[in-house]
Amino acid sequence: MARPKFVAGNWKMYTDLAGAKSLAAAVAKEVGSSSKVQVAVCPPAPWLTAVADAVKGSAVVVGAQNCHFEKEGAFTGELAPQMVLGAGCKYVLIGHSERRHGLGETDDLLNKKARAALAAGLHVIFCIGELLAERESNHTESVLDRQISFGLADVPPEQMANLVIAYEPVWAIGTGKVATPEQAQAAHAFVRGKIVEMFGEKVASELLIQYGGSVKPDNAVTILHQPDVDGALVGGASLKADSFLAIVKAAG
């Protein structure tokens, strides 16, 4: 049985309230109430409930860009997994490179976040990827191995059905550079093989692995139809409905 395609838009720290509602409504209108491609949008935290309202009744679901690993407590500025659920989200991004490298989030911390989010009933998009220097020194696979081994340690196998991996080569995020279809496929195949080691063949065969890194309508088709590429985590191109929807269409 073929795996479904899944395209998610990461809006990062962009949009105002009116723009977020308008963008979400435009995506929801085009996607409609059923879609063979799974679609999610991940707006900034203040707009989560408004965006959830805007996509209600459509097949589009909402994701948060981050959460904490505790259920509650004195953690100023943080969002508990239960709060993310309560805001109308199905997904949460964990481990995006901008948090790993810009905010110093470690493999251990990301493991705690992923396990807490899954335990709370959220679906997790777990992001991994290598820096340019790591690729140029032929360390891509060792980096991915470490990020998966530590990041998904102690995740119950039965919860892996609620986890998606997004492979995002850091050198291709927001740079205009894109991994070739062959580079993307090789990395995705390595990731799937690692999941076989950790969780078994069935989990690995059903796992969705997205590609992220300057995905645009003009490069989406060739990347998204590689054997182990199951969709895209889209950054800048998700901020305009037309370009995001073109990527969704390319995945179909």
Cite the active site residues.
Answer: 96, 168
Angle at alpha carbon of residue 235, lines to 134 and 96, rounded to 5°: 50
8 A C-beta contact, residue 7 and residue 220: no
Two structure tokens written together for 86: 């309560």
Instruction: Give the Cβ contact number of residue 9 at 10 Å.
Output: 30
Distance set, CA 130 to CA 51, 135, 140 (Å): 31, 6, 6
Question: Which residues make up each annotated binding site for substrate?
Answer: 10-12, 174, 214, 235-236
Contact by Cβ (8 Å): 54, 25: yes
Residues flagged as binding site: 10-12, 174, 214, 235-236
